Amino acid sequence: MTFQNPKQILFTTFKWILICALIGIFSGSASAFFLISLEWVTQFRIQHDWIIWLLPIGGLLVGLSYHYWGASVVKGNNLLLEEYEKPQKVIPFRMAPLVLLGTLITHLFGGSAGREGTAVQMGGAIADQFTKLFNLNNSERKILIILGISAGFASVFGTPLAGAIFALEVLYFSKINLKSMILSFLVAYAAYFTVEFWHIKHTHYHIPEVPEITFTNLLYTVIIGALSGLAALLFSRTTHFWGSLFSKKIKYPPFRPFVGGIVLAIAIAGFGFSKFSGLGVPVIVASFSSPNPWYDFLLKILFTGFTLGAGFKGGEVTPLFFVGATLGSALSLIIPLPIALLAGMGFVAVFSGATHTPIACTIMGLELFGIQPGIFIAIACTIAYFSSGSVGIYKSQIVKGAKYKLYQKWL
């Protein structure tokens, strides 16, 4: 066994604090720019709804950019997961500008997508560039990937605790060491405060009424969790289905989002489905106070799965929030719990099921909605996690722990 002398310990500590600060500042600033740009393109689309007809052209631009310049980074979040599991080479920095541009184009022309994937990929690409700068080995490089995911997630949603835990949990929690945990929290707060420095405002949600913890109410919570898990399963399967179908039927990758854009433009503009374009944040906010139609969550799954499967860029998490919040809101018509609580439980529970991250999602629920509904949030996230199947939105994610053992026993 070898021991570091005090100077080595001090140097190593300073090195990682510096790395966390740099990743937090750069990733947080990138997320701030992304959020400002995303808000601008969203408002432009809302004010010029005719632009939806240019979605096929936008799709072609996204497809061409990745075909000629982004073949090595087209896997997106899955590339981060693969490089963590089996480090091979530093993630090209081009991942950051390509996913930023691709996501802005997707939202400008009306595709149904999120923003988490963009921030996480930018954070991961930025973080991995420090591998060569600090001459890090593969073990240390794994920590960089954790830090990049943590910084990206925390900065784009304004939830540093959830961001730190999400980065650890999504990469197979039991393999994470104490050093990674501490640094993940440090970089998450660095990125979070960087976004705060740029005066970026995040959407706020509120659950004004929380009922008593009774057996009946907890039973309803279990039902919400199970339904959220099934919705997460449907979301994941739908996205993978469209991706596989486009890959099989259209061999030239740039044509996939072009064809997909034609179908989406006709569906959205021709049939009045504009509420399912972009992030859908106004719909999410409204779901906390008024019931949604029962089919809204299904249409969001369809439109988002088709958009991402066709090759457009963005994230899955905000659409998952949309699916969960509208599902919970619709269920308020038959389940006697406060509508805001139902929407809030669905909001994080569907996310939990689709990403296999119940701890991070529970923490996110506490950060967004406060500690009062905590027991309901935790139960819903846990049940959704176990009822969502073994395949989530990230194909390269390795699912271990209790869920893995349970499925192994059943199968």
Tens-place pLDDT, residues 174-206: 566 788 899 999 999 999 999 999 999 898 899
pLDDT one-digit tens code per residue, 16-70: 999 999 999 999 999 999 999 999 999 999 999 999 999 999 999 999 999 999 9
Quote the pTM value: 0.94
Which pLDDT value is given to residue 411? 42
What's the pLDDT band for 341 if we cut at 50, 70, 90? very high
What's the pLDDT at 6?
Answer: 82
Give per-residue pLDDT as tens, 381-400: 999 999 998 889 998 887 66
Structure token pair of residue 124? 């991961």
> Which one, of 353, 341, 328, lies nearest residue 377 by Cα?
341
- Judge contact between 109 and 261, C-beta under 8 A: yes
**What tokens appear for 307 in the block?**
């958009």
Residue that the structure tokens 């299904």 belong to:
298
Q: Which of 143-152, 245-254, 330-339, 391-400 has the lowest mean pLDDT?
A: 391-400
Query: What domains sit in the chain, N to C, each tagged with a CATH number?
Result: 6-197 (1.10.3080.10), 215-410 (1.10.3080.10)
What was the pLDDT predicted at 1? Answer: 45
Task: Check whether 371 has a pLDDT greater than 50.
Answer: yes
Across the range 278-304, mean pLDDT stands at 97
What is the secondary structure of 83-114 as a DSSP string? HHHS--SPPPTTHHHHHHHHHHHHHHHT----
Instruction: Tell me the per-residue pLDDT of 126-169, one tens digit each, with 9 for 90 and over.
Output: 999 999 999 999 999 999 999 999 999 999 999 999 999 999 99
Is residue 307 within 8 Å of residue 187, measured between CB atoms?
A: no
**What local confidence, expressed as pLDDT, does residue 131 receive?**
96
Query: What Å distances lie between residue 166 and 41, 71, 357, 408, CA to CA?
Result: 28, 27, 7, 24
Q: Please name the amino acid found at residue 100.
A: L
Across all residues in the chain, what is the average pLDDT?
93
Cα dist from 368 to 51, 174, 408, whole Å = 33, 26, 34
Name the DSSP letter for residue 173: G
